[in-house]
Amino acid sequence: MTTADPSEAGQSMPLIGDQFPELEVETTHGTLTLPDEYEGEWLVLFSHPGDFTPVCTTEFVAFEQRREEFEDLGANLLGLSVDRVHSHIKWTDWIEEELDVEIGFPIIADETGAVGSELGMLHPGASTSTVRAVFFVDPEGVVRQILYYPLEIGRNMDEILRSLEALQTADEEGVALPADWPNNDNFDDKKLLSPPGDVESVEARLEEAEAEGYDCRDWWFCLTDE
């Protein structure tokens, strides 16, 4: 069950910086109201094409095996597909029995496709299955990052965890993060300061860089390891 209307869904999917839409969803852990259920915490919502499929099975095992790392970062995992609750339960039972991994996070049963349509998870050419989407929702219910993967390629847990940590670091420290942070080949785990927006700020930045010991290659490219 969901408050989304399938006839209208997909017309205004949330983008980065948008408020996550209010949805009531049925899950393997009961009815949840999004994003209120996770108010004050991070939410990593990910869709999969279907239960009892090989790639999705490996992903669910991987998410569960890294769940404590997500929780250590204050984030909750929430799965979704167009299967029914009973299918989710039977599938996760199979995973526990055959692969010795007990799935501890809830899974949305989106059998009408309404939630997937509302969130842009149903793509043309992907039949009626949800693609492999990942939504990062912050403690204020704002969508901060969206990742899409094709049906045939499983997700990279390291990148999802890295993205979550990077978003939190950027928020907490008011910085930007370089490629491959925190393991950039050229700058290690250093962070980037936002470039000044006017001449006066440029001069102030250069003075600040000298006083604080920033690694500035130019006025617009300053690194810090603090």
Answer yes or no: are the C-beta atoms of 150 and 125 closer than 8 Å: no
Q: What span, in angstroms and rounded, lies between the C-alpha atoms of 202 and 117?
A: 46
Active-site residue, from 25, 56, 115, 133: 56
216 annotated active-site: no
Residue 141's SS3 state is coil
Q: What span, in angstroms and rounded, lies between the C-alpha atoms of 138 and 168?
A: 9
Which secondary-structure segment (H or E) carries 32? strand 30-34
Pairing of the two strands 143-149 and 132-137:
antiparallel
Q: What span, in angstroms and rounded, lies between the C-alpha atoms of 10 and 123?
A: 10
Answer yes or no: are the C-beta atoms of 23 and 5 closer than 8 Å: no
For residue 212, give every residue at least 6 positions away whose Cβ sits within 8 Å of its Cβ, in sequence order, or none.
224
Which secondary-structure segment (H or E) carries 144? strand 143-149
DSSP-assigned letter for residue 10: T
Give the Cβ contact number of residue 62 at 10 Å: 17
Give the Cβ contact number of residue 129 at 10 Å: 21
Active site residues: 56
